[in-house]
Amino acid sequence: MVVKIEIVDERDDHVTVLLKDTDRAFANALRRTLMSNVPKMAIHRVRFELGTIEDSATGDTYESIGALPDEVIAHRLAMIPIPTYHDEFCFLEDDPGNEGLPREEWGTPASQIIYHCSARGTAEGQVVTAGDLNVLGEDKLQIPEMYRSIPITKLYAGQYLEFYAYAVLGVGSSHSKWNPVSGVSFSSRKEATIENSTKAKILWDLDLSITSKDFSKASKGGTLDDVQKVETLIREMHHVGDGTARIEDFANAISIKEKPGEFIFSFDTDGSMTARKAFEMGCKALASRFSDLSGQLSEEL
């Protein structure tokens, strides 16, 4: 089975594609693969600096205490999007630099990214955010600008927070912090056909997005098959559907039918990679799984 893919809508953090010549089993397998088998970087270990420090300039003393326990801060750090470059890093377990070292000492620049944070509180309260994490490495590994405002904790006078955070590659099947996508969904592609143009005018008179002109311009003449327009039409038909005073007059003026073998597939990313990259990695991982399964079946048969 050769699946055809058409991009319907694409942004850095979102993609909608049209899958053709396939079935629900494949679409669901792709959905599960994106959530479970696409590698991404996430903070896996945090080393907190504990004790008291003194500001040599002011003489103020700060203590490593705060409103949130270290465990909660570590959990929040794990959810921050870490830039992921699959070609430049390997899994921690595959790092050749680990040879001869105990597991707690595993990790070299080939398999992990280290971030450092040092923040002090104020009388008014100082919010510590993802932007306070400074990478010990290339600038491209800094937390992306649009996510630097993610709050971690708040420090007040006499409090300080300092830690080293270690990010490594992982997959969602091991922990949700390594899941690079959200809102992964698919549905059958649909087509809309005007069955009664007089009754359909009830919808057009509402002056919404979709009009009769969209149908007249349709390639199939009277049947609208543009993916985004049909999805918009379905939402707008709620204005004349069940629970409205217009349902009896509108009746079945426009019919919506599923198109066999075609599915609309969409998802968002957490910002650790582009949606296109996540989709490419998902397809690659799924193809590898099918290839391995085919090989096992061949050996058995």
Rounded Cα distance, 69 and 153, in Å: 10
Which is more confident, 1 or 231?
231
**Residue that has been written with the tokens 């409090």 in this structure:** 159
Give the model's pLDDT for residue 292.
52
Using only C-alpha atoms, the chain has a radius of gyration, in whole angstroms, of 26
> Given this model, what pLDDT does residue 170 score?
97
pLDDT value at residue 217? 76
- Read off the pLDDT of each residue in 84-88 and give the average, rounded to a whole number: 96
151 pLDDT above the threshold of 80: yes
pLDDT category, 301, cuts 50, 70, 90? very low
Whether the predicted pLDDT of 295 surpasses 80: no
pLDDT value of residue 293 = 46
**pLDDT at 289 > cutoff 80:** no
Whether the per-residue pLDDT at 186 is higher than 60: the answer is yes
Tell me which of 245 and 288 has the higher pLDDT: 245
Q: Dump pLDDT digits (tens) for 17-53.
A: 999 999 999 999 999 999 999 999 999 999 999 999 9
Confidence label for 221 from pLDDT (cuts 50, 70 and 90)? low
Contact (Cβ atoms closer than 8 angstroms) between residue 8 and residue 264: yes
Q: Which of 65, 43, 49, 62 is nearest to 130 (CA)?
A: 43
Domain 40-178, CATH number (from 1.10.1660.10, 2.170.120.12, 3.40.1280.10, 3.40.190.10): 2.170.120.12
Query: Is-contact 189 264, C-beta < 8 A?
Result: yes
Residue 218: pLDDT band with limits 50, 70, 90: low
φ, ψ for residue 13, nearest 5 deg: -110, 10
Site of tokens 């599915």 = 263
Tens digit of pLDDT for each residue in 239-268? 998 899 999 999 889 999 999 999 999 999
- CATH fourth-level superfamily of 4-35+182-268: RNA polymerase, RBP11-like subunit (3.30.1360.10)
The residue ranges of every structural domain in the chain are 4-35+182-268, 40-178
* Phi–psi pair at 180, nearest 5 degrees: -85, -5
Looking at the chain, the whole-number percentage of residues with pLDDT higher than 90 is: 83
Instruction: Please determine, for residue 299, whether its predicted confidence score (pLDDT) is greater than 60.
Output: no
Residue 111 has pLDDT above 90, yes or no: yes
The confidence score (pLDDT) of residue 93 equals 95
Calculate the dihedral angle through the C-alpha atoms of 259, 16, 151, 72, rounding to the nearest 10 degrees.
50
Q: What is the pLDDT of residue 181?
A: 97
Residue 220 DSSP one-character state: T
Which of the four pLDDT bands, split at 50, 70 and 90, describes residue 271?
A: very high
